[in-house]
Chains A and B, each alone.
Chain A
Amino acid sequence: MGLLNLNGITKSFGAIHALNGVDLSIDPGEAVGLMGDNGAGKSTLMKIIAGNFKPTSGEIRIEDKSVEFHKPIDARHAGIEIVYQDLALCDNLTAAANVFLGREAKKRIGPFSWLDHGAMYKRAGELFSELKSETRPRDLVRQMSGGQRQAVAIARTRLSDPKLVLMDEPTAAISVRQVAEVLALIKRLKDTGHAVILVSHRMPDVFDVCDRVAVLRRGTKVADKHIKETSPEEVTGLITGAIEAA
């Protein structure tokens, strides 16, 4: 019994067939690398798991129960957190406000409640230092570097204790040091029994932290192998189509 099982997921946008019957499963504590060329359908698959899109057909099972997500919040309630490729941040809010967006910390007295800025700044600060990121909770996201924005998006997934974390190219715009931190974080997540799906174009990252690698080509899964049973050369061939399938 896996944590997540995708059975025959298909997604069409009008005439575009972004995904054709993709199966994928993942166990607790496992990290799967999802690779593929631009437009292969990686982000689309992630968004389906995160409840942004409904699949045209196919089934999503979580802990052996069939689920249907109508909104991102449904997926979040099911224990799935996602770092979007475009990060999905509000530029006009502070880092802390973005981390807590949609689930703000509040203070209560009787029927009254109000935003607990102090608690949010403190918790966000802790999350950033956990990520070894020099992001200050009170800074506006507008004035942040790519790496800091990434840290904000990743910190968001750490607020709850999700079962599955989806990361859509979390290392695309960040420094060497921060890439190492993100990879360390993924390892920590695995050690604590969380599952991670990592979408990346960076071969070394995938081979460093992932247990398995799945390759999508034009909406079809052409390989799903243990990292030990494959090599960067083979994966490259699978991505480009030089190798048909494995």
Chain B
Amino acid sequence: MTEELTDQKQRRHPGRGPVDTLNEMDHAAIDESITSRQEVSGFGSMIRTQPFWVFLAILAIGIVMTFVSDAFMTERNMFNITRNFAFFGIMALGMSAVICTAGIDLSVGSLLGLCAITLGLTMQAGWGIEVGFVVCMLTAAAVGAINGVLIAYLKMAPFVVTLGMLAMARSIAMVISNNKMIYEFGPDMELFEWIGGESMLGVPNVVWVLILMTAGFWWVWRYSTWGRWVIAIGGNAQAAKLSGIPVERMIVSVYMVCSMCTGLAAFMFIGYTGSATNGMGVTYELNVIAASVIGGANLMGGVVYALGAPIGAALVELIRNSLLLAGIPALWQQFFVGLFLILAVLLEQIRSRGRS
């Protein structure tokens, strides 16, 4: 322990003059002890991840619920649970990327409402589904780009920028919708509502989208340069910059990716509900951030799991569903979401204390 402290001191205050021989002996000893530590891999490294433990929690709650309620394990209920959490899961995939850079995006709920309105107005005006989709994604990309530029280039705090955007995006949605509901989606209405609301092979379409996107993000985090650079920025932005990574551009792209995940979720969500209002997505940012954090995203940055987002979202939805089936008043819902959020962070703290 004392040896380690000496080592730390040497590193924090390098250039304190010649290192004496005694110290060097200590370093040699530390090197030895660390080299003899075994490398962990496979199952060993899997059980060290947060998503694994949250997955166990999901199984445990699931098992308890089969005894509490006969309605729980039915196909219908499973279908509903997966469909409901898929919307949050898609948004949480993008949020995890933002959180990995030690940022936060509070504007996703409002953006969902704004995308709902721009998409709805476009299709209501008689445009096809392709145009509607493009408009929806462009809305999202523009909001993400504004967030990203303010954060990356003007060095503003993500919390403040996206809080401002939360207010502005909602307001713009209200203004351009004239505060009216949209339930007419033009010539492609049927296809639009099928995409968001129906299923293939017994699995809701939105769940298919979530599965594909999770697989995509898994690949990105593991095999793409973009993913590697985002994780590096979360670990040490200064070092990333010195290595020639275009940190500012990367951060802008991360906020755009997050927003576009929300844009995609909006596209599916409006098709599912069959109507668009400017109030859509109010307080969703809480559930999305909770899902990401429960799934293992660390607000200090540098940690991300593709599987964490859907698993975290699943736990949040499972809590909601279980309370409902167990006959506990819905008023308790947010209490338990908050409780699990705090427990997840606590678990992460305990695990990282165990590591160091």
**Residue on A nearest B223 in the bound complex, by CB:** A114
**Residue on B nearest A113 in the bound complex, by CB:** B225
Task: Determine whether B273 belongs to the interface, using a CB cutoff of 8 Å to chain A.
Answer: no
Q: When A and B form their complex, what is the total count of cross-chain residue pairs whose Cβ atoms lie within 8 Å?
A: 130
Contacts of A148 in B (CB 8 A): 31, 34
Give 1 or 0 for each of B302-346: 1 = CB within 8 Å of chain A CB.
110000000000000000000000000000000000000000000
Considering the chains assembled together, what is the distance between the CA atoms of A134 and B34 in angstroms? 9
Given contacts A72-B244, A115-B222, A175-B28, 6 further A-B contacts (CB under 8 A): A89-B239, A90-B236, A92-B302, A138-B39, A143-B34, A172-B10
Contacts of A72 in B (CB 8 A): 241-244
> Shortest CB–CB separation between residue A213 and chain B, in angstroms?
15
> Shortest CB–CB separation between residue A78 and chain B, in angstroms?
13
SS of B interface (majority): helix
Q: Return 14 A-B CB contacts under 8 Å, by A number.
A: A72-B243, A86-B14, A90-B232, A90-B240, A92-B302, A93-B228, A103-B243, A115-B228, A136-B35, A146-B11, A148-B31, A172-B10, A173-B10, A178-B27
Task: Determine whether A139 belongs to the interface, using a CB cutoff of 8 Å to chain B.
Answer: yes
Q: Which of B11, B14, B24 has the most CB of A within 10 A?
A: B14
- Within B8-38, which residues are at the interface with A (CB < 8 Å)? 10-11, 14-19, 21, 24-25, 27-28, 30-31, 34-35, 37
* Size band of the interface chain A makes with B: 35 or more
Task: Determine whether B94 belongs to the interface, using a CB cutoff of 8 Å to chain A.
Answer: no
Task: Determine whether A71 belongs to the interface, using a CB cutoff of 8 Å to chain B.
Answer: yes
Considering the chains assembled together, what is the distance between the CA atoms of A115 and B230 in angstroms? 14
> Shortest CB–CB separation between residue A40 and chain B, in angstroms?
10
Considering the chains assembled together, what is the distance between the CA atoms of A138 and B234 in angstroms? 19
B15–A85 contact, CB under 8 A?
A: yes
Contacts A90-B232, A145-B34, A173-B14 hold; do A101 and B239 have CB atoms under 8 A apart? yes
> Shortest CB–CB separation between residue B14 and chain A, in angstroms?
4
Task: Determine whether B80 belongs to the interface, using a CB cutoff of 8 Å to chain A.
Answer: no
Contacts of B241 in A (CB 8 A): 72
Contacts of B283 in A (CB 8 A): none
> Shortest CB–CB separation between residue B247 and chain A, in angstroms?
11
Contacts of B7 in A (CB 8 A): 145-146, 173
Contacts of B34 in A (CB 8 A): 143-145, 148
Q: What 5 A-B pairs come out closest when comparing CB atoms?
A: A102-B243, A90-B235, A73-B244, A92-B235, A92-B302
Task: Determine whether A12 belongs to the interface, using a CB cutoff of 8 Å to chain B.
Answer: no
Considering the chains assembled together, what is the distance between the CA atoms of A71 and B37 in angstroms? 38
Residue count of chain B within 8 Å CB distance of chain A: 44
| Residue from B27, B223, B232 within 8 A of A175 (CB atoms) | B27
Task: Determine whether B179 belongs to the interface, using a CB cutoff of 8 Å to chain A.
Answer: no
> Shortest CB–CB separation between residue B254 and chain A, in angstroms?
16
Give 1 or 0 for each of A114-155: 1 = CB within 8 Å of chain B CB.
110000000000000000001010110001111111000000
Task: Determine whether B238 belongs to the interface, using a CB cutoff of 8 Å to chain A.
Answer: yes
> Shortest CB–CB separation between residue A197 and chain B, in angstroms?
15
Contacts A174-B27, A201-B15 hold; do A76 and B232 have CB atoms under 8 A apart? no
A172–B19 contact, CB under 8 A?
A: yes
Task: Determine whether A25 belongs to the interface, using a CB cutoff of 8 Å to chain B.
Answer: no
Considering the chains assembled together, what is the distance between the CA atoms of A201 and B20 in angstroms? 12
Q: Which of B11, B15, B303 has the most CB of A within 10 A?
A: B15
| Residue from A88, A93, A177 within 8 A of B242 (CB atoms) | A88
Task: Determine whether A66 belongs to the interface, using a CB cutoff of 8 Å to chain B.
Answer: no
Contacts of A86 in B (CB 8 A): 14
Task: Determine whether A7 belongs to the interface, using a CB cutoff of 8 Å to chain B.
Answer: no
Task: Determine whether B66 belongs to the interface, using a CB cutoff of 8 Å to chain A.
Answer: no
Task: Determine whether A38 belongs to the interface, using a CB cutoff of 8 Å to chain B.
Answer: yes
B14–A169 contact, CB under 8 A?
A: yes
> Shortest CB–CB separation between residue B48 and chain A, in angstroms?
11
A97–B228 contact, CB under 8 A?
A: yes
Give 1 or 0 for each of B76-116: 1 = CB within 8 Å of chain A CB.
00000000000000000000000000000000000000000
Contacts of B223 in A (CB 8 A): 114-115
Contacts of B349 in A (CB 8 A): none
Contacts of A149 in B (CB 8 A): 11
| Residue from A93, A178, A202 within 8 A of B231 (CB atoms) | A93
